[in-house]
């Protein structure tokens, strides 16, 4: 890519270079990054549907991590993948939060994203039930 193309990519992403990105802005930033790179490179960069989906999944996973750890004191731990082919889920996360009564609660899935979605849903259900 030329220097001008790199500048154009930077300009497209400039609004997202701040610490207070909302979840929606994070997803938009990932989308805009891919679009800016494709525009800058023309046909010389081809992003497959699988690569695009992987970028979007990574952006969504980060959005969920930020959502789960946003309240003061809340934490999330990503555990290593299950290396065994024993029928157990491949990925595990632990969330320690007010809605878990400050006890680590595990969520599993075939991917980190699926485990994060399960935790996010549980957090939403628990938070909705609080007085």
Question: How does strand 105-109 pair with strand 91-96?
Answer: antiparallel
Each residue's pLDDT tens digit, 18-38: 667 676 676 777 777 777 776
Give pLDDT, residue 89: 86
Give pLDDT, residue 6: 66
In this predicted structure, the answer to whether residue 75 has a pLDDT above a threshold of 80 is yes
In this predicted structure, the answer to whether residue 52 has a pLDDT above a threshold of 70 is yes
Each residue's pLDDT tens digit, 34-46: 777 766 666 566 6
Domain ranges of the chain: 71-131
Each residue's pLDDT tens digit, 55-68: 788 888 888 998 89
Beta strands, E only, the chain: 75-78, 91-96, 105-109
Tokens representing residue 39 in the block:
């525009």
Confidence of residue 91 (pLDDT cuts 50, 70, 90): very high
Average pLDDT of the residues of the chain = 80
């Amino acid at each position: 890519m030329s220097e001008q193309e790199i500048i154009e990519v930077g300009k497209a992403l400039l609004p997202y270079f701040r610490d207070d990105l909302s979840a929606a802005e994070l997803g938009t930033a990932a989308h805009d990054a891919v679009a800016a790179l494709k525009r800058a490179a023309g046909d010389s960069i081809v992003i497959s549907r699988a690569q695009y989906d992987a970028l979007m999944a990574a952006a969504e996973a980060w959005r969920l991590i930020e959502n789960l750890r946003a309240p003061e004191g809340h934490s999330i731990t990503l555990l290593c993948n299950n290396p065994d082919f024993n029928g157990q889920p491949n990925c595990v996360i632990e969330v320690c939060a007010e809605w878990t009564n400050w006890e680590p609660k595990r969520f599993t899935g075939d991917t980190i994203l699926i485990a994060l979605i399960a935790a996010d849903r549980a957090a939403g259900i628990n938070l909705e039930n609080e007085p």
